[in-house]
């Protein structure tokens, strides 16, 4: 496995892969450790989880630099990601015991209740775009619920994967309760079928999710899938355009647009479409590309060269199909994997930037006649992860939010994940939930106990 700096294209380090025999041995060790771990108290687990949060905060610049070097995101965004990881650790350390306490139910029994018990060893197949956050938002609730965990991280962030494993060890967790498997994607199916693996969670592409779910289904194993998105950013005729445009730039450009919940379809009512387009262009054309470690830079590289190829192809195909290029549209001529901040307008159904997920700095503007067409357009997608709507009338925003078919809708705010509320999608964006009280219950057995 090779770690390559996206800002330069230069290899940072090369890592050895685990053999199938080593993988099997690690899984067995995690399972054996779990048999003891599941008997530990919530207080014991919480103390270790808070240690992990303290380690993350005390060494956040070190971990942020590693993240930026391996996948290219802006250093300040990497620092924020580490801080969010510490937050999710603290949240579950503080709330897991309450969320998973026995739930008493009145029946014809003398006593009946629901006990929430860990499933066992959970395999996490995680992506590169948020190398620390994606792992911690799974690991914090899974470990606090009493499960064991093995991580198959993306092959381009092996340094992050090993650093996370080390954080849990430094925090006092048993050495084999959380382990990283250094394996390529082709070996995942064999891990899923390992008899010691109880369940699987995956964040990634629709194709990867389908393959892992099929493998887990053959073994009758629980899965949670968080897949792609084509989030709608609805701007109504009564929106605060200054606030909407400012948020739109962040919602599209955060992590260079390499996010499942990035705003990808800007659905704007005709009466304000021209003003929104010009304001968005004015903001995005000011963004500077360069070294992601530089605090003055707003445009970082994409994580891999093939991602630049994909974005370039999607933009070119859409322009050829009639989309109007408002800004950008091509690679940035410098070392590394850079693409210009791009705006496409007059985008219609069937164009590549709508029919496929755009994982890069490309904003797509779709104009609509009114509120109802905005709702219909937002729902006209195979994906259903998140979205937002902008209006000066909160009641109107809530009404529309209820009508858009997604796992989350934000009114006058950017779609984001938060440890306190569930996160997940519908349709081809996946199934199951992460975070909040619902997320920690995905990998527990909700056991009914009835006593006469």
Residues 168, 285 within the same domain: no
d(CA 338, CA 351): 23
Query: Using one digit for the tens of pLDDT, what is the confidence trace for 124-150?
Result: 999 999 999 999 999 999 999 999 999
CA atoms within 13 A on the CB side of 180: 26
Contact 171, 55 (CB under 8 A): yes
Residues 239, 187 within the same domain: no
Give 68's contacts (C-beta < 8 A, 6+ positions apart). 74, 75, 78, 292, 293, 300
Residue 217 lies in a domain: yes
d(CA 282, CA 147): 49
- Residue 250 pLDDT: 98
Residues 222, 112 within the same domain: yes
Residue 70 lies in a domain: yes
Catalytic residue, candidates 70, 81, 226, 357: 226
Residues 313, 243 within the same domain: yes
14 carries an active-site annotation: no
Residues 181, 241 within the same domain: no
Give 295's contacts (C-beta < 8 A, 6+ positions apart). 75, 76
Give me the domain span that covers residue 310. 231-418
Contact 413, 388 (CB under 8 A): yes
Quick one: 85 exposed, middle or buried, by C-beta within 10 A (0-12, 13-18, 19+)? buried
- Per the structure, the count of domains in the chain is 2
Q: What are phi and psi of 254, to 5 degrees?
A: -55, 130
Q: What is the CATH number of the domain that holds 244?
A: 3.40.309.10
Contact 407, 426 (CB under 8 A): yes
> What does pTM read for this prediction?
0.97
Residues 27, 150 within the same domain: yes
Residues 278, 309 within the same domain: yes
Contact 216, 200 (CB under 8 A): yes
Q: What is the CATH number of the domain that holds 162?
A: 3.40.605.10
Angle at 398 between CA 407 and CA 362, to 5 degrees: 55
- Residue 247 pLDDT: 98
Q: How much is the mean pLDDT over the chain?
A: 98
Contact 374, 368 (CB under 8 A): yes
Question: Is 156 in a helix, a strand, or coil?
Answer: coil
Q: Give the residues of the chain that fall short of pLDDT 50.
A: none
Phi/psi region, residue 395 (left: phi>0; alpha: psi -120 to 50; beta: rest), is: alpha
- Residue 261 pLDDT: 96
260 carries an active-site annotation: yes
Give 216's contacts (C-beta < 8 A, 6+ positions apart). 192, 199, 200, 222, 223
Residues 287, 368 within the same domain: yes
- Residue 279 pLDDT: 98
Residues 189, 330 within the same domain: no
Catalytic residue, candidates 260, 340, 357, 434: 260
Residues 69, 141 within the same domain: yes
Residues 217, 269 within the same domain: no
Residues 52, 156 within the same domain: yes
Residue 423 lies in a domain: no
């Amino acid at each position: 496995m090779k770690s390559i700096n996206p800002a330069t294209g230069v290899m940072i380090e090369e890592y050895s892969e685990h053999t199938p025999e080593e993988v099997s041995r690690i899984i067995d060790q995690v399972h054996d450790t779990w048999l003891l771990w599941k008997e530990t108290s919530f207080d014991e687990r919480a103390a270790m989880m808070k240690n992990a949060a303290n380690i993350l905060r005390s060494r956040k610049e070190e971990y942020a630099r590693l993240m930026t070097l391996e996948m290219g995101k802006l250093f300040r965004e990497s620092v924020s990601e580490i801080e969010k990881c510490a937050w999710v650790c603290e949240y579950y350390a503080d709330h897991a015991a309450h969320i998973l306490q026995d739930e008493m139910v009145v029946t014809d029994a003398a006593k009946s209740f629901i006990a929430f018990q860990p499933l066992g060893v959970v395999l996490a197949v995680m992506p590169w775009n948020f190398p620390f956050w994606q792992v911690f938002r799974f690991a914090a609730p899974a470990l606090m619920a009493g499960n064991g965990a093995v991580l198959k991280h993306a092959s381009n962030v092996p340094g992050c994967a090993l650093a996370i494993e080390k954080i849990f060890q430094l925090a006092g967790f048993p050495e084999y309760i959380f382990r990283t498997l250094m394996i390529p994607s082709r070996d995942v199916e064999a891990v899923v079928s390992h008899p010691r693996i109880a369940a699987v969670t995956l964040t990634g592409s629709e194709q990867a999710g389908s393959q892992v779910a099929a493998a887990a289904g053959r073994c009758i194993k629980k899965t949670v899938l968080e897949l792609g998105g084509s989030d709608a950013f609805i701007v109504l005729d009564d929106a605060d355009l200054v606030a909407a445009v400012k948020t739109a730039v962040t919602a599209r450009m955060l992590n260079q647009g390499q996010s499942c919940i990035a705003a990808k379809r800007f659905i704007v009512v005709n009466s304000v479409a021209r003003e929104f387009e010009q304001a968005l262009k004015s903001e995005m054309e000011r963004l500077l590309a360069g070294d992601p470690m530089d605090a003055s830079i707003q445009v970082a590289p994409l994580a891999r060269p093939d991602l630049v190829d994909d974005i370039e192809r999607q933009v070119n195909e859409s322009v050829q199909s009639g989309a109007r290029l408002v800004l950008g549209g091509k690679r940035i001529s410098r070392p590394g994997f850079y693409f210009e901040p791009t705006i496409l307008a007059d985008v219609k159904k069937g164009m590549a930037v709508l029919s496929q997920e755009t994982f890069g700095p490309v904003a797509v503007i779709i104009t609509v006649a009114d509120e109802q067409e905005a709702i219909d357009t937002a729902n006209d997608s195979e994906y259903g992860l998140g979205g937002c709507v902008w209006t000066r009338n909160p009641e109107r925003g809530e009404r529309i939010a209820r009508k858009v078919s997604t796992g989350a809708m934000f009114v006058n705010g950017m779609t984001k994940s938060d440890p306190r509320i569930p996160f997940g999608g519908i349709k081809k964006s996946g199934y199951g939930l992460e975070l909040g009280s619902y997320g920690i219950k995905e990998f527990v057995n909700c056991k009914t106990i009835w006593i006469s």
